[in-house]
Amino acid sequence: MIRIDSVTKRYPDGTTAVDRLSLEIPDRSITVLVGPSGCGKTTTLRMINRMVEPTEGTITLDGVDITRQPVNTLRRSMGYVIQNAGLFQHRTILDNIATVPRLLGWSKDRARGRARELMERVGLDASLARRYPYQLSGGQQQRVGVARALAADPPVLLMDEPFSAVDPIVRKGLQDELLRIQAELGKTIVFVTHDIDEAIKIGTMVAVMRTGGHLAQYAPPAELLSDPADDFVEDFLGTDRGIRRLSFFPSAALELQTQPVVAVDATEQQIAARRAFGAPYLLVTDLAGKPLGWSPADELTAGPVDPARLLPYGRPFVHGRESLRAALDGTVLSPTGWAVGVDGAGRVTGVVSQQAVAEAIRTAHAEGHTAEKVAG
């Protein structure tokens, strides 16, 4: 574990970049430092690998003061990824990734073998190996940066705004990839960003910092959203805090109803039986069980259905995998006020009303509240 203990950094010109910061960074998880520009995030990150030395306080790694070991040994245990990847422009992708293993004395073949393995791990096609960085997109370069940082298999990864320079869609892909890599490799990651949504998405723990290098709050994302420590944190979180918090509540708790679901080839009797259930709308599915749209219950008859005349079903949520936020979104997107639950293959597993989602939200809030209290 990395422990930052009462650390202050004053630069020679008198700027206090970090002010008595204490943080316990848990192993094998992603800790995000987030806050407005100039609040001391990068300085904090760089003190962890001693690119910047603290003015006061200590940083320990597994209980040992990081100043007690040679700086090169320390840095070898910490991969470092920066914005725009910082690749060596005159080296191929493969040799960029192989840089640290080569420095560690690995043979060229072994280092390149390792680099190929990492290209696959970070989702880079093997055909890119011989290219140079300028021949890659921003997102691909960023993946190379991550692969290079992982090359010597360091237990710690320090990432400084690694995805800030790429467009939102590529960025989402990189975030998902990082979460996957983290789950597979169990690295301890310290991640700097100014984007609170990114922090909430990828952080196991999130440290919100404010100008002057002060820690405003250190908590898991769900807790930041439910209990911001003060007005600064609340402002920084932005709008829709309540709705965004719902992404931490699984949809598994929702009981889906199958009665209002009817296949497109249903007989008059089957439709009558569905109608008897009393729901105002029936969801019509195709023969594979995928949703086509809603019909007012009393208007549906057996025989050919014109999908264009059905009401839209919004975006289905994957029951159990997605959150109550996705379920709520589904109810809001359909004019019927009902959301459609599907399995991983997109087949309807049941439907749920806005009212039932609201009920589940209330229950989740009540339980979440209790859990937080129990946790202290």
Catalog residues that contact ligand ADP under the rule CB under 6 A: 11, 13, 15, 17, 35, 37-43
Between 51 and 185, whose beta carbon lies closer to ligand ADP?
A: 51
Count CA atoms closer than 13 A to 209's CA, side-chain side.
30
Please, which residue, 13 or 306, has the CB nearer to ligand ADP? 13
Nearest Cα neighbor of 97 from 137, 126, 138 is: 126
Q: Shortest distance, CB of residue 181 to ligand ADP, whole angstroms?
A: 24
CA neighbours closer than 13 Å in the CB half-sphere of residue 31? 24
Element (H, E) at 172: helix 168-185
128/189 Cα distance (integer angstroms) = 26
Q: How far is the CB of 96 from ligand ADP (least distance, A)?
A: 25
Two tokens at 202? 């990828």
Q: Min. distance of Cβ 78 from ligand ADP in angstroms?
A: 17
Closer by beta carbon to ligand ADP, 17 or else 150: 17
When the beta carbons of 42 and 331 are compared against ligand ADP, the nearer one is 42
What pairing do the DSSP bridges indicate for beta strands 338-342 and 317-318?
parallel
Q: Find the shortest distance in angstroms from Cβ 17 to ligand ADP.
A: 3
List of residues 6+ apart from 96 with CB closer than 8 A = 87, 88, 133, 144, 148
Residue closer to ligand ADP (CB basis): 212 or 242: 212
Using the minimum distance from each CB to ligand ADP, give the nearer residue, 82 or 149. Answer: 82
Q: Which residues of 98-135 are buried (b: 16+ CB within 10 A; e: fewer)?
A: bbbbbeeebeeeebbebbbebbebbbbeeebbeeebee
Query: Cβ 35 to ligand ADP, closest distance in Å?
Result: 6
Give the closest residue to 291 by CA, choosing from 244, 247, 258, 243: 258
Q: How far is the CB of 82 from ligand ADP (least distance, A)?
A: 12
Tokens, residue 151: 């090359």
Q: Which two tokens stand for residue 315?
A: 């975006």
C-beta of 34 vs 254, nearer to ligand ADP: 34
**Phi, then psi, of 140 in degrees rounded to 5:** -65, -40
